[in-house]
Structure 1
Amino acid sequence: MSCRAVLVCPGRGTYNKTELGYLARHHAGAPLLGEFDAMRAAAGQTPLSALDGAARFEADTHVTGDNASPLIYACTLLDRQALAEDIEIVAVTGNSLGWYSALAAAGAVTRKGGLEIVNMMGRLMHERGTGGQVVYPCTGTDWRPDPARRAQLLRLVREIDGQDGLLRLSIDLGGMLVLAGDDAGLAAFTEAVPEIDNRFPMRLPHHAAFHTDLMAPIAEAGRAALPAPLFRQPRLPMIDGRGAIWWPGATDLAALYAYTLGEQVTRTYDFARAIRHAAREFAPDMFIVTGPGTTMGGSVAQSLIECDWKGLSDKAAFQARQEEAPLLVSMGDPEQRGIVT
């Protein structure tokens, strides 16, 4: 029985200690991985198989943009190849870095072209990125939308921005807000909000102020380094970080290039809106989040709860529906992976 699915490509922060060896476990010997390794070696970079096969996870190696970004991209593209034949992908979206993966998964760039983009932008972020990111929840543990709490947090962000430092909404993850700014702005926010679960506010290591105007020089450098002919008509619809849909046969390639290496880098990435629009416009049977990791699953679920998709009202309702018939599969979860492979 076929299944109509939206494919979700994860962003930075999803390849961590527990993901070390992901490529070896699931994709050892894959020809595409060999091609990616050859591209990295030709550029004087450590091959992805060697990074993934390291004896131990080293944050200063595996979490930096020049290595983490292509590792995550490779896991995503190879997982996409591993899907069962009866899975019909009706649309593709992603979070932040995941937009570059979505381009390749939807055919808007070749798989090698996608790695070229990811490698370049990851390296630029690592070498020239400034500022940082902090994650903070805007819902309670039940995942019910809390508009008042969200509005209060965003009001605090606006108050800090320009007064105590630079602080912006970087990524909307549904139940979580990813904030980006300079050190002063991030420190002011951290001091102003209560600590939650001994985890939040959480500073993300080796992350710059992604999706803010601090990234404008990196976007410019990316446009100078990456040629427009890398892009082509997608074979599948793509939902971007504004919730806009790029359709096969009707995509303005100049606009796609400008968005990917312009606004997408320097403006808020609304992942929650992308998920909501994917649910409403394509009515899939399932959302499939590729590996590595499983952290994106909660954000997808919270975004679906926010728009009351299929009557999902809170975390308990989502979990009950998952046990009945999964609406969301994370390929990074060994138990769920078999559902779609």
Structure 2
Amino acid sequence: MSQVDHNQLANKVNISKQRVLVVAPGRGCYNKDELGYLQRFHTDKKDFIASIDTYRKSLNQQGITQLDGQAKYSFKLHTTGENASALIYACAMSDFKDIDREQYEIVAVTGNSMGWYIALALAGSLNEQGAIEVINTMGSMMADGLIGGQLIYPEMDEHWLQDCTKTMIIDDVIAKVNNSEGCELFSSIYLGGYRVLAGNEAGLKLAEILLPNIDGRYPMRLYNHAAFHSPLLQQISNKAKALLPQELFHQPQIPMIDGEGNIWTQYSTDLQKLHEYTLVEQVLAPYDFTVAIAVGIKEFAPDKVIILGPGNTLGGPVAQAIINVQGFDWRNKADFISVQGILPRLLAMGIKTQRELVIKY
């Protein structure tokens, strides 16, 4: 091969885009360290942010500009569904807009829990007006009082591999709780190396007694979280279907992976089924984020995975889900840490050094 041919080949390699799977976060990712996220990174998104504030003002809700600009972080203010959902959506969508499309080809999108609604927006299945309407409506459903709650518990070992013993313990506790009068407990989210459980107060309290304590940290209650992805939210699902018509949904422009591992493409999406899944199955059945990531890795073969901000609460669970299918040749936590420190393939936009590898300057 001539030197000219070598140069042409090198140029082709240099200009080829990297394929990326984009992951949208769910509730619980806008914490104390994320206060001011929009002000730090997205002063150029004023029109987009203003449109969200205008919508919320019409509902007599506090604007996200004001929420993000508070002098101090408040659990009571920033973690309630009606505030957290819109705030996280604004941060995540703004991050998505900043991804360098000359460097990265977005081959699919997915999300965790509430992140499914954000994924719909990323893919264009919800336009900007439809996205804030769906996300804000779903986030505000329990403004007058939460239905049930959630707790999180690990089901992995120290190497980030599935621990069958922990899995059996969790399943056994779920069965025991549901056999106790007045108690309800369900698997809510399969979150990489963790299981999120949803239940009524009696069920959660009994689960906290029955689950072995780990490091004085687990089982851990999730503050201001309702019994998402469980039958306890039947009335929320019914109300959502009445308030949010199918007409809000459009054909996606980017493939979407849902909480059952199904792929919704621009060529085959049935909008009636998408509407039904989003407001019924997704609300009432367990959300398998682990499977969603596995499908993204195996079916789309991305070069990298980009996690949208705010924060990086999904970094560990995404890595654990990738390890579970030996994606990127990661077989355990040590592999992930070793490779990630040299040539990161998991990029969290909530981490400044990794953000700089994603955005266009």
TM-score by length of 2: 0.92
**Could you tell me how far 1:128 is from its partner in structure 2?**
4.9
**Preserved contact between residue 128 and residue 218 of structure 1 (Cα < 8 Å):** no
Q: How much has 1:159 moved relative to structure 2?
A: 2.1
Structure 1, unpaired ranges of 5+ = none
Tell me how far apart the structure 2 counterparts of residues 141 and 23 of structure 1 sit (CA, whole Å).
35
| 2:80 paired residue number | 64
Cα offset, 1:231, TM superposition: 0.3
One-letter identity of the residue aligned with 1:156: V
Distance in 2, matches of 1:213 and 1:162, equals 16
Identity of aligned pairs, percent? 44
The one-letter code of the counterpart of 1:61 is L
Q: Does 1:19 align with 2:37?
A: no
Q: Whole-Å Cα distance in 2 between the matches of residues 129 and 211 of structure 1?
A: 14
Asked if 2 retains the 8 angstrom alpha-carbon contact of 1:158 and 1:168, the reply is no
User: How far does residue 40 in structure 1 lie from its aligned partner after superposition?
Assistant: 1.3
Q: Distance in 2 between matches of 1:274 and 1:65?
A: 24
Task: Give the counterpart of 2:341 among 305, 323, 329.
Answer: 323
**Aligned equivalent of 1:161:** 178
Residue identity opposite 2:60 in structure 1: G
Alpha-carbon distance in 1 for matches of 2:71, 2:263: 42
Stretches (4+) displaced over 4 A:
none
Pairs aligned (count): 341
Deviation at 1:163, TM superposition (A): 1.9
Is 1:103 paired with 2:120? yes
Question: Does 2:226 correspond to 1:208?
Answer: yes
- Whether the 8 Å CA contact 2:25–2:308 is kept in 1: the answer is yes
Match for residue 176 of structure 1? Answer: 194
Deviates more, 1:215-224 or 1:126-135: 126-135
Residue 91 of structure 2 aligns to a residue in which SS?
Answer: helix
Q: Which of 62, 68, 71 is the equivalent residue of 1:52?
A: 68
1:37 aligns with 2:53: yes
Task: Report the AA paired with residue 220 of structure 1.
Answer: N
The answer to whether the 8 A contact 1:174-1:300 is kept is: yes
1:22-63 CA distance string (max 9 Å, x none): 111111241211211111112211110000001111111100
1:76 aligns with 2:76: no
> Equivalent of 2:139, from 122, 133, 139?
122
The answer on whether the counterparts of 2:123 and 2:254 sit within 8 Å (CA) in structure 1 is: yes
CA displacement 1:313-339 (0-9 Å, x = unmatched): 111111111123212111011111001
Query: 8 Å contact 1:7–1:89 — kept in the other structure?
Result: yes
* Distance apart, 1:154 and its partner CA: 1.5
TM-score normalised over the length of structure 1: 0.97
Counterpart Cα distance in 2 of 1:58 and 1:310: 39
**Two-structure CA RMSD over aligned residues (Å):** 1.1
Q: How big is the shift at 1:188? A: 1.0
Q: Does the Cα contact within 8 Å between 1:133 and 1:186 map onto a contact in 2?
A: yes
User: Are the equivalent residues in 1 in contact too, given 2:169–2:211 (CA < 8 A)?
Assistant: no
Q: Any unmatched runs of 5+ in structure 2?
A: 1-14
Larger radius of gyration: 2
Comparing 256-265 with 26-35, which one deviates more in the overlay?
A: 26-35
Distance 1:172 1:89 in 2: 24
Checking the alignment, whether the CA contact within 8 Å between 1:129 and 1:218 is kept in structure 2 is: no
Partner-residue secondary structure (3-state), 1:125: coil
Query: 8 Å contact 1:20–1:52 — kept in the other structure?
Result: yes
* Residue equivalent to 1:265: 283
> Does the Cα contact within 8 Å between 2:154 and 2:166 map onto a contact in 1?
no
Deviates more, 1:113-122 or 1:318-327: 318-327
Distance across 2 between alignment mates of 1:282 and 1:257: 24
- For 2:144 and 2:267, how far apart are their aligned partners in 1? 37
Q: What is the letter of the counterpart of residue 134 of structure 1?
A: L
Mapped contact 2:24–2:308 kept (Cα < 8 A): yes
The answer for the alignment partner of 1:230 in structure 2 is: 248
Q: Distance in 2 between matches of 1:192 and 1:7?
A: 37
Residue 129 of structure 2 aligns to which amino acid in structure 1?
K
Cα distance in 1, alignment partners of residues 334 and 90 from structure 2 = 33
Q: 1:142: how far off?
A: 1.9
Deviates most, 243-252 or 153-162: 153-162
Q: 2:75, 2:161 → 1: CA distance?
A: 34
1:15–1:68: 8 Å Cα contact kept in structure 2?
yes
